[in-house]
Amino acid sequence: MNRSSSKARALLATAPVIPVITIERAADAVPLARALIKGGLRVIEITLRTEAAMAAAAAIAAEVPEAIVGIGTVLTAQDLARAGKAGAAFAISPGQSPEILKAAANGDLPYVPGIQTASDLTSCVNAGFDVVKFFPAVPAGGLAALNALSGPFPGVSYCPTGGISEANAPEWLANPKVIAVGGSWIAPPADIKQGNWAAIENRARAASQLRKA
């Protein structure tokens, strides 16, 4: 296991549920992070799906020091470098490539590559990564698929994302191979846009009560 993966394992182990955030306005980032923290969730993933994403993550890193903010939807080695410069505490991808695995393995930023198949997992394991994102978790076969992959890869832990909800998160977290789950239900874009921080805080509080079995 390389240093990047080792640090990612330690980080994810502190946060069984990670809010996956798509944010349109950087100005919403700080109040959003504070609502999540008040609800008991410190680890936050800001996805690189909008123009505001990197500025939002940088604002949280600078103004909400108690938050552990990461950059998601990291697709290139350049994205990985940008995440580090923005002050991100970790980076996470929906997939993986030789270039990004090499860049992450040679760096210090905690990194979680994404997988869906045994071939994906083989590439990650060969690069020294034993904590991966299983995406899209439910469409890719759900717990049955994860259990099947766990057979030939007994040392790998997973952060499933994609189709995870408040209703099914406990079932995923009960699996010994699942180190954490990622979910967008905690802070949906409509609530962020409306500044409905109380609703987000309440969902975060409920999610923070979900623990590994």
Rounded distance between C-alpha atoms, residue 53 and residue 164, angstroms: 22
Which residues are part of the catalytic machinery? 45, 133
Taking a C-beta distance cutoff of 8 angstroms, is the pair 136, 112 a contact? no
Rounded distance between C-alpha atoms, residue 56 and residue 36, angstroms: 14
* Widest distance between CA atoms in the chain: 46
CA distance readout (Å), 100 to 69, 80, 200: 20, 8, 33
160: enclosing H helix or E strand: strand 157-160
Neighbours of 193 (CB within 10 A): 12
Rounded distance between C-alpha atoms, residue 64 and residue 171, angstroms: 32
